[in-house]
Amino acid sequence: MKIKHLNINQYFLLLIVLFLSFSSHAHDYPKNYFRSPVDFKITLSGTFAELRNNHFHSGIDIRTFTTGKKIYAIADGTVSRIKISAGGYGKALYIDHPNGYTSVYAHLSKFSPKIEVFIKSQQYKKKSFEVDININSLDSHKREQFKLKKGNIIAYSGNTGSSMGPHLHFEVRETKSEKPINPMLLGFKILDTTPPKIYRLYVYPLNRNSSVNGKNTRQAFKVVAKNKTNFVLNNAKLKLHGKIGFAIHTQDFLDNTWGKCGINKLQLRINDSLVTNYTLNKFSFDESSYINSHIDYELSQESKKRIHKAFIEPNNKLNFYSKMKGDGSYYFNENKNYSIDISAFDSYKNKAKLKFAVKGDTTSVNFPEKVFSKLFKYQDVNHFSQDGIELKFPKNCLYSDLKFNYSTSIDSNYLAPIHHIHKSSVALNRHYSLSIKLDKVNDTISDKLVVCKIDKNGNTSSAGGVYINGYIKTKTKGLGNYSVLLDTISPTITTKTDYKNKTIKNLKFIDFTIKDNLAGIKYYRGEIDGKWVLFEYDRKKDRLFYTFDSQRLKRNKKHKLKLTVEDAVGNIGTYSCDFTW
């Protein structure tokens, strides 16, 4: 009732206090609710929101050094999902907890015995190594077996999926939104007193009238350390005019590990005024592809460096920019000195600061515009067609407007001209339609045609494709050089061990290498004595293997193996033999 007697200033002050209280509560993550997922001291090889290839890292990578380490439930909960794939997370387990969070454990070698028995039964039921089981969709009496207590062993660490070395990829997500949050905010004992390091500064003129030291292109400047936390430019002087953006190459380091990890927060101040301020503590998987706008995609393609921009492209929809001042760019149009301060923080607030001065330049130069084929507006549907090619880019496919270029060249190794579709160093947010015209195609081989992408070294990779009415059509997310090849070569199946007509009673598994020359492996099937058996596929190693299962295969018997591998255009490779186990 008393609120009616507040004056307007008091009323708004009360609203601000309530808002700040709510905001603080909204980010008050539980600190003592979860235990560690491992029983040894945690050291990391990857941190949350680290810049990865086409995505932000959605968890932390806990170093295990070997496979087979015990993995524990971090709190009471229920297994909600079990997923197995040849790439990606490999063998992964999801647990829903009653406090509104879900924990995720990935790249596992195997699950605990009860879960292992269940998932193998599902694989045999579906006749598929790759499965994605939603436990919540099962009948209630079946879900009971997946209830867990804090500290239960749930799995063992591994190197499955796209993992490049033994480790546990560990995530915590909001169950309702499925958004991953930074696990380093949840009280796990991770030692980190080491600040990030800053290696290089990048300065961008953001329109035709802007310049950096008289140039209208991105300029890079070396950075040197004064001490552990303070960095300066290496004898560089900057003269800036017009709309300018800044970026830094920076990485974080943790105690007791050599790994280079990602920062958590970036701030840019100009003349002590906060211009850029973002923190990477939560994101949506739907937003993750915007990483290619957050970084300089062209620079990453050229030098493998992923940098943090302090400014935003027009079609970058990442939500963690919510505290930004405009788009993070700044206009330097006065003949005076400016003080620039860029700070990088890790999750434990260790800070690295780059401080330098720049001179404003009042000289305006209208830099000449390069010739281009067509202007694409990022918010529009964009079409392009010439003899032999048709392109369609959907709305918001681009991160900003593009001065599009196109040309062709001839190479007798291909069935069509090489179509130079702008350049591969420009990132796209969505797939676009690509149709290449072909002349005089024999109908008997039309289903073996493949649109191929050609890299700067002349190597080709498949972009798929279907032949329809004189065109081979596909959808792709990359610009660059494209043409057409014919793929009539079957996948190969090889093994280091000769199993044919051999007694192999002492072996635990049989192991094959499967490869395809172009279209890519689409399907495989292993049978023993005419029945489907579980072959596991490790895509990164081209490895296909069957672990002998005495529950399903009789011992001391002669058996007949048949292995079939098919590529994306229907070429089939086979391997068969008799063996005794």
Q: Are residues 80 and 126 in the same domain?
A: yes
Give the Cα separation of 138 and 122 in Å (integer).
12
pLDDT of residue 7: 53
pLDDT of residue 270: 97
Give the 3-state secondary structure of residue 228. Answer: coil
pLDDT of residue 20: 40
Q: What string of H, E and C letters represents the secondary structure of 334-389?
A: CCCEEEEEEEEECCCCCEEEEEEEEEECCCCCCCCCCCCCEEECCCCCEEEEECCE
Domain boundary among the residues 466, 486, 506 is at 486
Domain containing residue 387: CATH number: 2.60.220.30
Q: Are residues 346 and 213 in the same domain?
A: yes
Give the count of beta carbons closer than 10 Å to the beta carbon of residue 370: 7
Q: Are residues 430 and 471 in the same domain?
A: yes
DSSP secondary structure code for residue 132 in this structure: E
Q: Are residues 50 and 158 in the same domain?
A: yes
- Name residue, tokens 């070395």: 165
Give the 3-state secondary structure of residue 518. Answer: coil
Give the count of beta carbons closer than 10 Å to the beta carbon of residue 150: 14
Output the six-digit token pair for 73.
């439930």
CB 493 within 8 A of CB 512: yes
CB 544 within 8 A of CB 537: yes
End-to-end CA distance of the chain: 84
- Name residue, tokens 């950096």: 212
Which helix (H) or strand (E) element contains residue 13?
A: helix 8-26
Asked whether residue 369 is domain-assigned, the answer is: no
Q: Are residues 234 and 331 in the same domain?
A: yes
pLDDT of residue 21: 39
The range of the structural domain enclosing residue 418 comes to 374-486
Domain count, the chain: 5
Asked whether residue 475 is domain-assigned, the answer is: yes
Predicted structure pTM score: 0.92
Q: Are residues 120 and 9 in the same domain?
A: no
pLDDT of residue 27: 64
Q: Are residues 407 and 346 in the same domain?
A: no
Asked whether residue 537 is domain-assigned, the answer is: yes
Domain boundary among the residues 326, 360, 394 is at 360
Q: Are residues 288 and 390 in the same domain?
A: no
pLDDT of residue 441: 87
> Could you give the strand order of the β-sheet that contains 70-72, starting from the edge strand earlier in sequence?
70-72, 153-156, 110-111
How much of the chain is in helix, strand and coil states, percent to nearest 5? 15, 40, 45
The parts of the chain modelled with pLDDT lower than 70 are 1-27
Q: Are residues 575 and 530 in the same domain?
A: yes
Q: Are residues 355 and 210 in the same domain?
A: yes
